[in-house]
Amino acid sequence: MKNRKNRDRNLTHFFYILPNLILYSALSITPICLGIYYSLTDWNGITKNYNFVGLSNYIKILNDRRFHRAVMFNLRYAFMLIVGVLFLSLCLALLMNYPVRGRSVFRAIYFFPACISMLTIGLIFNYIYFQGLPVIGNALNIDFLKKNILSGRKTAIYGILIANLWKSVAIPTVLIISALQTIPREILESAVVDGANGWQRFRYIIIRYILPILSIIFVLILKEGLMIYDYIVALTTGGPAGATESLTLSIYRLGFEDLKFGYAISQALMIAGIITVISVIQMRYTDKKKIYD
């Protein structure tokens, strides 16, 4: 009788998850499997006829200077984005975690950019860089504001980064605030009694309790940095002279402009592999640092 109840319960659970399983298989697992297959071909994305080329696409990536340049841009950009988001969101979370008057209003104001689409934010900052800042620079005679930041090969990446940071800081700040509120107040009060200063409380207590959330934020921002597309399309379209061409933009152009879908898919799988390896290493490292109650 008990075995029959367990069997019926398991069967009920299975039918509950069956619709999600079907959708997940159709929208995630199947495209991944097809992508792996087409990455081994020279398919152009249109015709039914294509040749199986094996690993030649992946071997070609090793000597592709355009891909290497895009990888270096994305790694550099992702590093700056991770540092910027973690630093700014941590500072904002610590400030807004204190009970001050109007705290809810400030939280709503800084969270507003998260409600705007990335393309819209890119267009807003595009106007600021082209029209707003040069006018201010000429009026105040500030040299570095007179020139559009997006027009220089060395400075365009920072213009994209600023726009990205303005939007991407909001949600990590909320996550960190929620983590800060889980820290037992007794521990912080005991540390104060023992003579620990603010930096010591932050280093030995606060940072260790919020480390799991910081780990999640790291993975999310890493993915965002390696897959940046909207801001680049809205601000630079990969220029000037290809200085801000990201991996996703390069893949898009290979697939939809050059009609090299098989090669583009192989690059996409390479990106997925890079994100997976870095995320696994980072998650395993932070697991050793977690505090368990």
Instruction: Supply the pLDDT for residue 289.
Output: 56
Facing residues of 52 across strands? 41
State residue 288's pLDDT score.
59
Q: Is there a contact between 176 and 210 (Cβ–Cβ < 8 Å)? A: yes
Residue 158: left if φ>0, alpha if ψ -120 to 50, beta else—which one? Answer: alpha
Q: Round to whole Å and give the CA distance between 207 and 227.
A: 28
Between CA 238 and CA 228 the distance in angstroms is 11
Q: Count Cβ neighbours within 10 Å for each residue of 19-58 and write b for 16 or more, e otherwise.
A: eeeeeeeeeeeeeeeebeebbbbbbeeeeeeeeebeebbb
Contact yes or no for 83/167 (Cβ under 8 A): no
Quote the pTM value: 0.84
Q: Distance between the two ends of the chain, CA-based, in angstroms?
A: 40
Q: What is the pLDDT of residue 293?
A: 45
CB atoms within 10 A of CB 192: 12
Please tell me the predicted confidence (pLDDT) of residue 287: 64
- Please report, in tens digits, the pLDDT of each residue of the chain (293 residues total): 567 777 777 788 888 888 898 998 888 899 889 999 999 999 988 888 889 998 999 999 988 999 999 999 999 999 999 999 999 999 988 888 877 676 677 777 778 888 888 888 988 999 899 888 888 888 888 887 888 899 888 899 999 999 999 999 999 998 999 888 888 888 888 888 888 888 888 888 888 889 889 988 988 898 899 889 999 999 998 988 889 999 999 999 999 989 999 999 999 998 888 888 887 887 777 665 554 44
In the block, residue with structure tokens 């879908």: 261
